[in-house]
């Protein structure tokens, strides 16, 4: 069932507000062309992992060592496929024509108050340091 014009306008306004508030999060939510392929690879990996587990259990119960080893190898291949599917989804490019402004830290400068890390993205420890710095500044 398609959305009405009013609902489409509301949805566009909400998307713009989300992008203005947190562009990094909004960009991560946008689906890329490879999202369906990644989902398919992940499903294939889960299927391989489960079938490998079945082969491994069959090898243990029948005491056929080669069957157990084959099951382990199939499980390992399935795990690698799942891992690669999730890795490729994390590297989704920004939408075409959309320019992402630099994130501003608590001091108002681009990249935060700590010199930033290589590549411009702040890591977990940088965020924790910024929070700690803000708490100690508020307490004084």
Tell me: pLDDT of 18 over 60.
yes
Whole-number mean pLDDT of the chain?
75
Query: Distance between CA atoms of 31 and 27, rounded to whole angstroms?
Result: 9
Query: Distance between CA atoms of 49 and 41, rounded to whole angstroms?
Result: 12
Residue 63 lies in a domain: yes
Residue 26 lies in a domain: no
Residue 132 lies in a domain: no
Cβ-based neighbours of 130, under 8 Å, separated by 6 or more: 105, 106, 112, 113, 114, 122
Domain that holds residue 43: 34-90
DSSP classification of residue 118: T
DSSP classification of residue 140: -
Instruction: Tell me the pLDDT tens digit for each residue of 72-107.
Output: 999 999 999 999 888 854 444 444 444 444 444 444
Residue 108 lies in a domain: no
Paired with 104 in beta bridges are 110
Strands (E), 1-140: none
Helical H segments across the chain, by residue range: 5-21, 23-29, 35-62, 65-90, 124-139
If DSSP codes are grouped into helix, strand and coil, which group holds residue 38?
A: helix
Residue 104 lies in a domain: no
Residue 6 lies in a domain: no
Instruction: Tell me the pLDDT tens digit for each residue of 28-77.
Output: 666 555 566 688 888 999 999 999 999 999 999 998 999 999 999 999 99
Residue 68 lies in a domain: yes
Count of domains observed in the chain = 1
Q: What is the model's pLDDT at position 113?
A: 45
Residue 55 lies in a domain: yes
């Amino acid at each position: 069932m398609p959305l009405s014009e009013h609902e489409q306008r509301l949805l566009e306004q909400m998307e713009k507000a989300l992008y203005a508030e947190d562009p990094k999060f909004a960009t991560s939510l946008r689906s890329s062309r490879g999202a369906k392929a990644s989902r398919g690879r992940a499903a294939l990996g889960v299927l391989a992992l489960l079938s490998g587990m079945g082969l491994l259990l069959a090898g243990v119960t029948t005491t056929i060592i080669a069957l157990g080893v084959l099951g382990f190898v199939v499980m390992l291949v399935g795990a690698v496929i799942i891992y690669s599917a999730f890795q490729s989804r994390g590297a989704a490019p920004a939408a075409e024509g959309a320019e992402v402004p630099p994130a501003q830290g608590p001091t108002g400068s681009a990249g935060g108050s700590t010199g930033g890390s290589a590549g411009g993205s702040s890591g977990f420890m940088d965020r924790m340091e910024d929070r700690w710095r803000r708490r100690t500044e508020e307490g004084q």
